[in-house]
Amino acid sequence: MRSAFFLILFGLTIHATSQDKVSFHAEDGLKITADLYLIDFSEPFILLFHQAESSRGEYNDIAPRLNKLGYNCLAVDLRSGQKSNYVKNETALRASRQNISSRFIDSQKDIEAAINYVLKYNQKPVILFGSSYSASLALIMASNNPRVSSVIAFSPGEYFRPEVIVQEEISELNQPVFIAASEIEYPYVKEITSAVVSSKKMLFKPSQSRGVHGAKALWETNEGNSEYWLVLSQFFKVLREI
């Protein structure tokens, strides 16, 4: 009986969610801060990236829900940002102190570093989850990248003109893609992402609310979040069936 109890306890422990602050370095030497939400070393990873003037705190409530869907998560402080949910962007603070370029497009280095970081846990292709400018970066970086299995993009746009044209960069993207836009953003987002050639592209506009810019649409405090979660869950079901 006692051994059975410890076996059950051990089984619960290895599947429990843990949240830890971790760090790793981008190719230009910048130290990046992230929150690791780990459920099981063998499960796939979703890499979570915030919007402008934000931080990894944008995913404080989102990541645990994604854990319940069976995914490990890594919420990353990109070098362009400030704070969210009272969580300061430590990467952006370092970049400022060290006079390291922190334009939106420079955050590509941080996303690449995050992909490399989770390879220490398992070799499975990752899901890139972006919000606003990082949604566009996620779409770009997934193109022709075998280390990325799919993309979730909330409110992508042309944030890098004239240096980079998102619509051109994503023309060869063929992984499964979930794209969400608020009511007002939808025509613009639809046009930009029309270049995506994936046969498993899901473009969502809320019908029960006007929607919210970026991943904040999933926050419980935002009207219509349940509709977003429902459709996003359907996308994850598609991924599991592949």
Identify the pLDDT of residue 15: 47
Question: Residue 242: what pLDDT?
Answer: 86
The confidence score (pLDDT) of residue 168 equals 97
pLDDT tens digit sequence for 166-194: 999 999 999 999 999 999 999 999 999 99
The pTM of this model reads 0.92
Q: CA–CA separation, 130 vs 142, rounded Å?
A: 11
Quickly state the pLDDT bin for 3 (edges 50, 70, 90): very low
Domain boundaries, the chain: 17-241
> Nearest-CA neighbor of 89 among 66, 116, 112, 58?
58
71-87 burial, b at 16+ Cβ within 10 Å, e below that, comes to bbbbbbbbbbbebbeeb
Please check the confidence at residue 7 and state whether its pLDDT lies above 90.
Answer: no
Which has the minimum average pLDDT: 9-13, 23-27, 115-119? Answer: 9-13
What is the residue whose two structure tokens read 């193109």?
143
Q: Which CATH class is domain 17-241?
A: alpha beta
C-alpha 91/C-alpha 95 separation (Å) is 6
pLDDT at 1 exceeding the cut of 60: no
Mean pLDDT estimate for the chain = 93
